[in-house]
Amino acid sequence: MSEARYGAPRSAFAAAPAAIDAETLIRSILFVVVFLAFWISFHPFPSLAKPMSAHAKEGDWLNQVGFSLIFILLAAWTAWHEPKRLVLALRPALLAMLAWCAVCVVTSWEPALSARRLAFTLVVMSICAMVLLLPKNLRHFSDLMAAVALIALAACYLGVLLAPQLSIHQATDFLEPQNAGSWRGVFPHKNEAAAMMNQFIFIGLFVARIRSVKLGAVIVVLAAIFLIFAQSKAAILLLPLVLVVSGVISRSRRPATGLALVIAILAAFNLFSVGSVYFTPIHNLNAAIMPDPTFTGRTDVWQFALQAAARRPIFGYGFSAFWGTPQVEYGLSENSTWVNATTDAHNAYLNLTLTTGVPGLALVLLWIVILPILDFYRQPRETAAKPLQMLLLRVCIYGSYASCFESSMFEQVAPWYLFMTAAFGLRYLLATRVTL
């Protein structure tokens, strides 16, 4: 949607003619395919009546094949259309983070598993970086985002209407039957569905600014209704917070102010959740103001994870190689409980500490939390790109906060894909003058 500046090559969202030609059609199809794979996935409407298949060893071949094919198509397209544009995404912080992840593969207690998962992560990360090079201008990007969001929302609502046993949590669910009645749509869990509804609301607000108020309102209303029926308390509470914080940042001219605000809230979330395990006053405060100070049993998981992280604080247990491994299920503690069999820490930052150590956590925080905020401040505010800047900022802030309650980073979950894409987008906009 732009022409480049700062000496960069012709950048993401390059200017486009109004007519729909073959190239525009190819760009649009590739974009839609990527986001449908991200949001609807290759396993829509999974049944929860039986235990999910464990992919700790074998991996999910359908995901691997599907995303690999998408990667090949996008890589071929990018190679044909000025591959130097991707250089903008290869910032030092990202390279340092990936290098440390590679070290954590070597030191992993499951090196083969960590290597496979890092390779898949690199494929997905590359897709997130390349997909932003497809739209030809801001309006084209808005149209494509609106189309994919509406397709995903339609799939969710059709699932609720036509196959409620596969799109609404049931009392017969093998895990968490207490979620019965909560809508999940095409997603495997109500919390993932709710996170995506919040992202669709951000997209709807963006579409209303760029393309059509009515179309944007339809996306916002459909997503908001589904969010309510998903019954995810964290997602519902985070939505207004993110809108307020992003509004404050957009009006602030000092990067230190915006960054301090985001980090302070992030630290508070982790202190009053994970911190309640070790700080008695915080636990007592939670007990006084919350109906469930255990965060639906998460405190047991956090205590177990913190104890494990303390044993290997530098390198962790290996990139994406902790939960679900035999060492955790059968051998990490003398008295195994249900916690040993859990699938994640329900906190992305704690998960990162477990799998990549404290240095890995610091590098990820720098790349995905701190630098996107600074990138937002480094851009001119009064430009055609302002609505896009706000969309990407909201997605990044929401992803940072939601990660305090879910292990979303580097996992195969829909909200993580747009989170990464938004971080790359704010980076690209530094070298881009956006036009309609």
Question: pLDDT of 191-222, one tens digit each?
Answer: 999 999 999 999 999 999 999 999 999 999 99
pLDDT recorded at residue 7 = 34
Look at residue 341 and tell me whether its pLDDT is greater than 70.
no
Burial class (CB in 10 A: 0-12, 13-18, 19+), 15: middle
Mean pLDDT of 88-116: 93
Residues 6+ apart with CB under 8 A from 304: 333, 339, 340
Look at residue 12 and tell me whether its pLDDT is greater than 80.
no
pLDDT recorded at residue 365 = 96
Burial class (CB in 10 A: 0-12, 13-18, 19+), 331: exposed
Residues 6+ apart with CB under 8 A from 62: 42, 43
Residues 6+ apart with CB under 8 A from 293: 276, 283, 286, 287, 299
**Phi–psi pair at 379, nearest 5 degrees:** -95, 150
pLDDT recorded at residue 435 = 58
Sign (positive/negative) of CA torsion 349, 190, 421, 375?
Answer: negative
Q: Of 47-51, 53-57, 389-393, which gets the smallest average pLDDT?
A: 53-57
Residue 326 pLDDT level (bands cut at 50, 70, 90): confident
Which helix (H) or strand (E) segment is 2 a member of? strand 2-4
Buried b (16+ CB within 10 A) or exposed e, 360-395: bbbbbbbbbbbbbbebbbebeeebbbebbbbbbbbb
Structure tokens at 245: 């914080």
Torsion of CA 328, 329, 331, 337, to 10 degrees: 110
Instruction: Answer with the residue of higher pLDDT: 83 or 261.
Output: 261
Look at residue 17 and tell me whether its pLDDT is greater than 50.
no
Instruction: Answer with the residue of higher pLDDT: 274 or 332.
Output: 274
pLDDT recorded at residue 3 = 41
pLDDT recorded at residue 2 = 43
| CA–CA dist 323, 329 (Å, integer) | 8
Cβ atoms 402, 238 nearer than 8 A: yes
Residues 6+ apart with CB under 8 A from 53: none
What pTM did the predictor assign? 0.90
Structure tokens at 380: 């001119």
| CA–CA dist 400, 370 (Å, integer) | 10
Chain-centroid distance, C-alpha 115: 21
Largest CA distance in the chain: 67
**Phi–psi pair at 188, nearest 5 degrees:** -80, -10
Q: What is the DSSP letter of 84?
A: G
Structure tokens at 347: 């906190």
Mean pLDDT of 96-117: 94
Percent of the chain with pLDDT over 70: 89
Look at residue 15 and tell me whether its pLDDT is greater than 80.
no
pLDDT recorded at residue 331 = 62
Residues 6+ apart with CB under 8 A from 189: 179
pLDDT recorded at residue 6 = 35
Look at residue 250 and tell me whether its pLDDT is greater than 60.
yes
Look at residue 9 and tell me whether its pLDDT is greater than 60.
no
* Cα distances (Å, whole numbers) of residue 427 to 4, 302, 333: 13, 33, 43
Structure tokens at 222: 């459909």
Of 134, 144, 145, residue with least CA distance to 12: 134
* Cα distances (Å, whole numbers) of residue 338 to 188, 360, 431: 21, 28, 50
Percent of the chain with pLDDT over 90: 61
Residue 336 pLDDT level (bands cut at 50, 70, 90): low
Look at residue 14 and tell me whether its pLDDT is greater than 60.
no
Look at residue 373 and tell me whether its pLDDT is greater than 70.
yes
| CA–CA dist 318, 102 (Å, integer) | 9
* Cα distances (Å, whole numbers) of residue 24 to 32, 137, 205, 288: 12, 11, 25, 57
Q: Point out which residues pair with 434 in neighbouring strands.
A: 2
Look at residue 53 and tell me whether its pLDDT is greater than 80.
no
Look at residue 64 and tell me whether its pLDDT is greater than 70.
yes
Mean pLDDT of 414-435: 86
Look at residue 249 and tell me whether its pLDDT is greater than 70.
yes
